[in-house]
Structure 1
Amino acid sequence: MLKSSSKEVATSLQGRLDRLTPLSATCCIYRVPQKLRKVNMEAYTPRVVSIGPLHHGEEHLIAMEEHKLRYLQNFLHRTRKTLEECVEIISRKEKTARDCYMKRINMSSKEFVEMILLDGCFIIEVILGFQNCNRHTMKPDDRIFNKPWLIFDVSRDMTLLENQLPFSLLLSLYSLVAPPGPLPENQNDYAYYPFLLSSVKFFKYYSHMPVAESCEEIIETIAKKASSTDEEIKHFVDLLIVCQQPSSPTRLRKPSDFKIMIPTATLEAQQPSSPRQPTPSNVSDWKLNLPTATQLHEGGVSFKLGSENKRLLDITYGSGVLKIPKLSLEDVCESLFRNLIAFEQCHYRKRRYITDYISLMDQLINTTKDVDVLVNGGIIDNWLGDNVAVTNLFNNLLINTVSASDFYLAGITNGLNKYYDIRWNRWKAALRRDYFCSPWRGASTIAAVILLLLTLIQTIFSGMSVK
């Protein structure tokens, strides 16, 4: 290469280096990786509304822009701030907001601030509108809440990873319209408890978020965590994950004992009727493969519904009894789970509670018979239509995901495998299933045993008398 050409290349590269923006430590809103998106594109795509810059301006979402303007108008009626003052508040947070997105946002400052203000006020009005809807004071001209299909689609779009605004920005806007009054007891460490509580209630209702405990208990846990670790909620997807975290999180004591957490899924989804293939394991303390729910049930394990006041990850096991909180499966669940998993895959190196939960359910469910075991145990409430849909859901959710360096439920899988490997437990279960499944069957079994013993005794005495 000629010297002049080398200089041109160096100059070109230096220019690119000079234009390279520094990576932000506050990045928390990502594009879903292509390998996850291609499994189910619709699950990550907004249906009716764009929130933030990643889907802004897409043609099929333009119709909602007029609703955003009307909701901005409602927002301004609630607050004493002028529109110009609201714009100034967002302008001061522009850089912070931009830094939250992994993708560089090619929008002017004017366009970006206008978009954030419209989208942020829209979200605030949706959350506040939900409160009014519960009090039967909904405005008759509200085109979103008066159309049940539309508000459900809006709530679904608000749970997409690519459709998020920074939570801190939403809190700033909410502070402009927050109702007056003191914070509840023990909530002084968290500045905007009312908005956090309203958000959890909103998603619990519209997204059928599987949270059995009260919203107040969840918020109290979040508040304590925020005050002790200075780790704030990043956005709605992060909030939904935090709401499902176990009450007393404990991890596997020796994560170095294994290199693989779960088998890496492939694009070929398992057929519901196909047997689970054994996977090579580098695990020394616990087995990578877990028997299915049917196998465990036949091996003596009882499946019971966990306490009503439990989160999704509050799974317990002891003495052959596996307790799992109830999960209501509806059409929105696949999109919800996929976006929660996508955020864990993009953001957290170790804390992947939702991925851990789905991996356990994937191991338990391989056929429709396995779903029957969980439905009969009260663990799954199936609104998807049939058990095949449930099987396909859990067998496909982890396709193309990467395992974490530790596994929250390793102690449970280890205990289940140890129990199942004891032959006596399987024999006892077979006896109960085949001969003592009902009082009548048990009585007839006992009668048959007694008759057999009497016959044996009679035979012995007959032989002795002949001699």
Structure 2
Amino acid sequence: MVALLDQQLIVLYLITLKLKETIEANLCIPQAKPIARPIPLGLYNPALRPLLTSQPLLLPPPPPPPPRPPPLPFDSPRIMSIIEKINQARQDEASSPWETLSIYRVPKCLRDVDQTAYTPKIVSLGPYHRGRRRFRTMDRHKWRSLYHALDRTSHDVRLYLDAARSLEVHARSCYEAPISMSSDDFVETLVLDSIFALELFRGVAREGFRGLGYSPNDPVFAVRGIMHSLQRDMIMLENQLPLFVLDWILALQLGFEPSDSYLVAPLALRFFNPLMPTDEILRPTASSGPLYEASSNGGALHCLDVFRRSLLPCPTPASIPRLTYRGKQFARPVAAPFPMPFSDACWLPIADKRRRQLIHCVGDLRDAGIKFRSRAGVQFWDIEFKDGVLYIPRLLIHDGTKSLFLNLIAFEQCHLECGNHITSYVTFMDNLINSDVDVGYLHANEIIEHWLGSDGEVADMFNWLCQEVVFDRHDCYLSGLSEEVNRYYNNKWNTLRASFNHKYFSNPWAFISLIAAVVLLLLTAAQTFYTVYPYYKPK
């Protein structure tokens, strides 16, 4: 009786709901959003499932799509602004001499490591730092150098101005940042700075400052303490002049044909020789090849490039251009047996600090039995590993070495056409040196000679040189040597043998104790033998 009553109520409820929907549909009344209500208990009756499933499922209609905004007219301010920016980008791309860039602004990521290493202190060359208050005193001496050069050669200044004006377009294309200087100011800067640099180069060379007409007590053009500061400023990346401009001006001074003279590079090497991190004195030779050619087909670009090339093997090994962009570096695409669409998987990023580990530190290598010896008669980069001995040429460190290495590394990071020999060497030494103990051991073996305050300063210098530097250990001339050293280091027998030698043969008392222990062990074995032997074989 109760079940029948429930069925009647359910049927009445469904009929009422259907009637309500029909009335609302006829009256075009919008339906409200359905509200979730608890289902009556009678609906859970299995006998009512066929009745419920026979009813159509009513869903709310989907919302209409939002109307599309009308397209902006072509002459609207927004479209005109975008088109103007695209045209400006097209002009910048057409006018930017990417292939001739050689004098770069140091990237901010490198500059933040050490601001003073990239900024000149007493003299500026080129347009980057021109006009600053700190250089006004040296600007007066620049004009003095121009006066001496004109008085000595009896030339008209217009000869040099016309030559610089003919080179202006090419010279501007060598600088990375847009030069906002006017044509007259830029030409004046080229002439004034070139004459000043050439007077210093020639004065330090065989001619001497007296031969150029300067007083022995000249505050600048004399071999004295300020010369070291000038050398440090003039070797910086942002303080460079194109080498072809220097060659052209010097050729005019000496009466040579500008297109056939490459005389500045040997003079620059002689001038910057005190900054060399090696005992080897670099002298120009006839077989130096492209080092002293200022042409655009692989020759030196500026004085910093001349200095860098003099440190490298001769001839300079061909290097694969690295695809870099301001602190990011990517390897070449991986060859695939079938065409692949362009994606992130086609380019392998190598800006990973884990890839910068070439070798273990000196302390760990000593524990593995590797010895360190100084190597004489070779360049500082020529490192060799043979029979468990790592031969490293002597390295000279002074107060200008840090700035020198940082500018050389910055140039290798920015210029895509040069290799990374200096970066590889500095990274290798950074891996070797972790503390002042490592520096002290290398100093005791005559590998490092420094004039800094302590060994800790040398360790800090190497640990800071490679900050924010993009480097791949597989793209390094020391990668093969590092693999040999690591294989020797990972050999457990070498580690055990080194530990035994260090424990018992490094101290004479430890060696005497070892001998005594061996003798005692032999006597004990002999006593045991003579005690046991008569038991098995009596007389």
Q: TM-score, normalised by structure 1?
A: 0.83
Whether the 8 Å contact between 2:292 and 2:300 is mirrored in structure 1 is: no
**In the alignment, does 2:432 pair up with 1:360?**
no
AA aligned opposite 2:440: D
Shift in Å, 1:441 = 5.6
CA offsets per residue over residues 216-275 of structure 1, 9 Å max, x none? Answer: 2677435579599941110111112112213577799999799676843xxxxxxxxxxx
Q: For 2:80, give the aligned amino acid.
A: E
Answer with 128-137 or 141-150: which moved more. 128-137
Q: Which residue of 2 aligns with 1:325?
A: 393
Distance 1:37 1:458, change over 3 A: same
Counterpart of 2:248 in structure 1 is 172
For 1:12 and 1:105, how far apart are their aligned partners in 2? 22
Matches within 5 A, 1:84-163: 84-131=158-205, 139-146=215-222, 148-163=224-239
* Structure 2 partner of 1:64: 138
> What do the CA deviations read for 1:325-344 (whole angstroms, capped 9, x no partner)?
11111111111111111111
Residue type matched to 1:453 in 2? L
CA drift of 1:462 comes to 2.8
**What is the root-mean-square deviation in Å for CA atoms of aligned residues?**
3.3
Of residues 222, 237, 244, the one that matches 2:304 is: 237
Given that residues 361 and 432 in structure 2 are in contact (C-alpha distance below 8 angstroms), is that contact kept between their aligned partners in structure 1? yes
SS in 2 for 1:148: coil
Q: 2:101 matched to which residue of 1?
A: 27
Matches for 1:328-343 after TM superposition, within 5 Å: 328-343=396-411
Q: Distance in 2 between matches of 1:451 and 1:338?
A: 60
Aligned partner letter, 1:9: S
Asked if the contact 2:435–2:459 (Cα under 8 Å) also holds between the matched residues in 1, the reply is: yes
- Contact kept? 2:383, 2:391, Cα under 8 Å: yes
Instruction: Give the secondary-structure state (helix, strand or coil) at the position aligned to 1:216.
Output: coil
Deviating more after overlay: 456-465 vs 92-101 = 456-465
Pair 1:298 & 2:370 matched:
no
Shift of residue 449, structure 1, vs aligned partner: 2.4
Q: Does the residue aligned with 1:324 lie in a helix, a strand or coil? A: strand
- Is the Cα contact below 8 Å between 2:265 and 2:303 reproduced in 1? no
What CA distance in whole angstroms lies between the structure 1 residues aligned with 2:352 and 2:278?
Answer: 28
Instruction: Tell me what 1:198 maps to.
Output: 267
Give the counterpart letter for 1:120 in structure 2: S
> Which amino acid is the alignment partner of residue 408 of structure 1?
Y
Structure 1 residue 443: Cα displacement:
5.9
Aligned to 1:387: 455
* 1:436 alignment partner in structure 2: 505
- Per-residue deviation at 1:463? 3.1
Deviations 1:103-125 (A, max 9, x none): 11111111111111000000001
* Residue aligning to 1:210: 277
Distance 1:113 1:349, change over 3 A: closer
CA deviations over 1:290-319 (Å, ceiling 9, x no partner): 2211110121111111223x2222111122
Residue 349 to residue 224, structure 1, CA distance change in 2 (3 Å) = closer
2: CA distance, partners of 1:246 / 1:262: 26
SS at match of 1:322: strand
| 1:412 CA displacement | 1.1
SS of structure 2 residue aligned to 1:62:
helix
- 1:131, 1:198 within 8 Å by CA — same for their partners in 2? yes
Residues in 2 aligned to 1:390 and 1:463: alpha-carbon distance in whole angstroms: 64
Is 2:482 aligned against 1:409? no
Secondary structure of the corresponding residue to residue 469 of structure 2? coil
How far is 1:131 from its partner? 2.3
Per-residue deviation, residues 409-454 of structure 1 (Å, max 9, x unmatched): 1001101100001111122222322222367765664454244323
Q: Call closer, same or farther: CA 1:217–1:315 in 2, change over 3 Å.
A: farther
Name which one, 1 or 2, has greater alpha-carbon Rg. 2
**Which residue is 1:315 aligned to?**
383
Higher relative contact order, chain-length normalized (CA < 8 Å, sep 6+): 1
2: CA distance, partners of 1:465 / 1:386 = 69
SS in 1 for 2:75: helix
Aligned counterparts of 2:209 and 2:125: Cα–Cα separation in 1: 27
Q: 1:82 aligns with which of 156, 168, 177?
A: 156
Unaligned runs of 5+ in 1: 181-188, 265-278, 282-286
The equivalent position to 2:496 in structure 1, one of 427, 431, 437, is: 427
Tell me, in whole angstroms, the C-alpha distance in 1 between the residues paired with 2:530 and 2:190. 95
SS at match of 1:331: coil
Structure 1 residues 350 and 34: CA distance shift in structure 2, 3 A:
same
Taking structure 1 as reference, are residues 225 and 144 closer, same or farther at Cα in structure 2, changes over 3 Å only?
closer
1:449 to 518, 526, 533: 518
Q: 1:368 is aligned with what amino acid? A: D
Q: Judging changes above 3 Å, is the alpha-carbon distance between structure 1 residues 388 and 218 closer, same or farther for their aligned structure 2 residues?
A: farther
Amino acid at match of 2:125: I
Q: TM-score, normalised by structure 2?
A: 0.73
Which residue does 1:275 correspond to in 2? none
Identity value in percent: 32
Residues in 1 aligned to 2:441 and 2:350: alpha-carbon distance in whole angstroms: 25
What is the distance in 2 between the residues matched to 1:179 and 1:363? 51
